[in-house]
Amino acid sequence: MDAVSRRLAPLARRLRNLVVRATVTLVDDAPTMQSLQVAATTEETLDACEHWQGYGLTVHPHPGAEALLLAAGGTRAMPLIIACADRRYRLTGLEQGEVALQDDQGQTIVLRRGGIEITAPQGLTITGDVTLTGNLTQTGDTTQTGNLTQTGDLTQTGNVNVTGSVAATTTVTAGAESLTALAATFAAHKHWVFTTSAKTGTPTT
């Protein structure tokens, strides 16, 4: 039995080392495959651990984040980080089926059961053209630089600041009056000439 145990001991060690929990200590985000330094135990620090992340999503974890380390071949010479989580900043209280993207600053994108919620305490910047189909309800000031294509109704509470011209293919209403009708009234109005009983002509410009 002792001889069998001795023969199996290296295999047992490899199996024990295959997957371990670790703590992130340093992050190198410059390489095309992000590299982490992690502490697997109080006495073991592993450098240059490749952090494998899914296509289309990348993160830069904080020191102190928890990692799941896979030792390829059962040897620590080829350490891979296959998961990295940080319970300090995880968004909790989601309903079944909901999905969220969050960081440590309180910025979140949550796919709720009833719609998508975006919380951006640091501000929200969109670069490029925006095409919106549906209704948009806006509360607050809006400053628009660039192109905005709107299909549907736009309800605005607050001020709209426009740099440039505004072109409308249909009627624009100010209060209860159509701007088209007001323009026609202005173009046709006349003034009395006080030296005679005649009126002036309509505006020429």
- Written as one letter, the residue type at 1 is M
| Tally of domains within the chain | 4
On whether both 149 and 205 belong to a single domain, the answer is no
Same domain, 12 and 74: yes
The sign one gets for the Cα dihedral 50, 54, 57, 61 is negative
Are residues 98 and 81 both part of a single domain?
no
80 with 93, same domain: the answer is no
In the chain, DSSP finds a helix count (H) and a strand count (E) of 2, 16
* 80: containing domain: 2-85
Are 138 and 155 contacting, i.e. CB atoms less than 8 angstroms apart? yes
For 157, the token pair is 């509470």
- Count Cβ atoms below 10 Å from residue 24 Cβ, excluding itself: 21
Q: What are phi and psi of 82, to 5 degrees?
A: -100, -10
Sole residue written with tokens 């319970």: 87
Q: What is the pLDDT of residue 198?
A: 60
Residue 150 CB neighbours (<10 A): 13
How confident is the prediction along the chain (205 residues), in pLDDT tens digits per residue?
577 667 656 655 666 668 889 999 999 999 999 999 999 877 889 999 999 999 999 999 999 999 999 988 777 788 999 999 999 999 999 999 999 999 999 999 999 999 999 999 999 998 998 888 888 888 888 777 778 777 878 777 888 787 878 777 777 777 777 777 777 777 776 666 666 666 666 665 5
Residue 64: give its domain's CATH number.
2.40.50
7 and 80: one domain? yes
CA 101/CA 118 separation, integer angstroms: 10
Task: Express each pLDDT in 100-143 by its tens digit.
Answer: 999 999 999 999 999 999 999 999 998 998 888 888 888 888 77
